[in-house]
Structure 1
Amino acid sequence: MPMATMRTARKLLLGREIAHMIDSAGVSQAEAAAIIETSQSRIAGLISGAGTITVGDLERLARRLGFDDEGYQEELRELRRDNHKRGFWSTGHNRAYSEDLRLLVDLEKHVDQIRLAEVEVVPGLLQIEPYARAIHEDAPPVDGGVTVDDRVAARLARQEILDKSNPPSVHFVLSESCLRRMWGDEGVMQAQIEHLITLSNRKKVMIQVLPFRTQPGRRSPVGNRFTLVKAPSPGAAGPLELVYTEAEGEIRYLDDRKALAAYESAWARLTNAALRFDESREFLAKVLDEWKQ
């Protein structure tokens, strides 16, 4: 994906604000496009986070749509300032992020809430270095000279959001298989589960376990991996909400209401079926003891 058209968190948030202004003014995308002498398809691209707009056009569009408050316009200008300069993703460990994954990595730096359901593998945000290294040791080579060290560094760098002064709220539902599937050796698994127990005691880290012996209910998507993210908007459009799904060779970002509602329902069923937080911590301790035997 060319850098000029790559979607980022700021572009998506700005797109939401543009859509909000157009809807509030009661005009069509084509009418909004005429204000800045462009095409309807370009406006649609801006709304989807795939386009760019000059400061002058952004200010003119906002004023003509009735959003002439200087404070609001400064918020728009700030969203337009994208911090990913050319070459950002092609240096150091950033090279290890695939083009499809870069939007999620960028979003994680802006969100105030992450909810994630996982099977088989401890989520990247919770992995310790030896566990992450064990996962990547036999990964196929990647163009550009990306090494295992790059991949591990990239994985661990994403966890910096948990140590911010005001970290996001993160909530995980882990299938028991995440705790049983061995990566590395017994020592790695012990250290990884100890890390999960430590993290689960943080105020904004919530971990629930869905044991094999628990009846999840017929409609609970126990085999699905997905992530729900919510990024607050500094403007008037309300938060940005997305669903991230990943399968072999396919990454998708969903933001339509139908998909969001479906995954919200799936999340509700999973959290209801999983152990409570205190029960999950006790279960983690039990599995840890078994790894030590």
Structure 2
Amino acid sequence: MAIDRADLHAHTTVSDGTRTPAEVVQLAAEKGLAAVAITDHDTMGGVEEALAEGARLNITVVPGIEISTSASGKDIHILGYYADWRDAKWQQRLELLGTGRGRRNEQIVEALRKHGIPITMNEVIAAAGRMEGRKSIGRPHIAAVLVGKGVVSTISEAFEQWIGSGKPGYANLPKVSPFEAVEWIREAGGTSVIAHPGLYHDDKLVEEIILHGVNGIEVFHSDHTAEDEARYAALARRYGLLETAGSDYHGERQGVVFHGDLGSRTVDVKLLEQLQIASRTDSQ
């Protein structure tokens, strides 16, 4: 049992996961975790459901978010913890991000149609409902339609051949910069962390974000190598940043877990106090 451990990166059906917020908390309990962070893409819409289930099961739920940003032509993700999801200004900013995601979905569908694939947004919306019982829509739902039509065999193939970065159906998501995201999180009373920096292959940019005032680095991640973890642990210590860990759990599709199984990357639950202290210090 992974008592006294926390997984600080998990997604639900509120963005592109396959389990509801309550189900992710239930899985955390089954895994023996003491705490789990709900970090859906560009929304905190699942936090209250998760908190309620956490209270029922005696599992600590960390209110979180993963903001999609862009810098130097790269997609950069910034995790935020303990931001006040009820704050009006924060809610307005997240609504803008959601609007941009909707426009991107439409652009992807249109690009696929231009390449001879007969796909519609109605089919994508229906796929989102069938897969997850909700209608928060992203690329995994578009990929599911491509699988259903026989265009590809798996979700992974859909990304590799059609909707991944640089592929025929890819469309850029209108994004803020990581520097703006750090500021937004701070202004909402939260603590900011650079998500999975090893995926960016740009440590110079990572250091620029650090110097802008980010609070931590996700050192341990399902897609990080041992070398990545050692490098980012050293970087965090050099700048006095928090070292976090998360599986980036998205659930299971066609029997495959994305990105890692819940609880596969964890930190001591004592780190939560430091995350909260950092958020309170930044908001003063």
Q: For the superposition of Structure 1 and Structure 2, which TM-score range results when normalised by the shorter chain?
A: under 0.3
More relative contact order, 1 or 2 (CA 8 Å, 6+ apart): 2
Q: TM-score, normalised by structure 2?
A: 0.25
Which structure has the highest helix share of the two?
A: 1
Q: TM-score, normalised by structure 1?
A: 0.25
Which structure has the highest strand share of the two?
A: 2
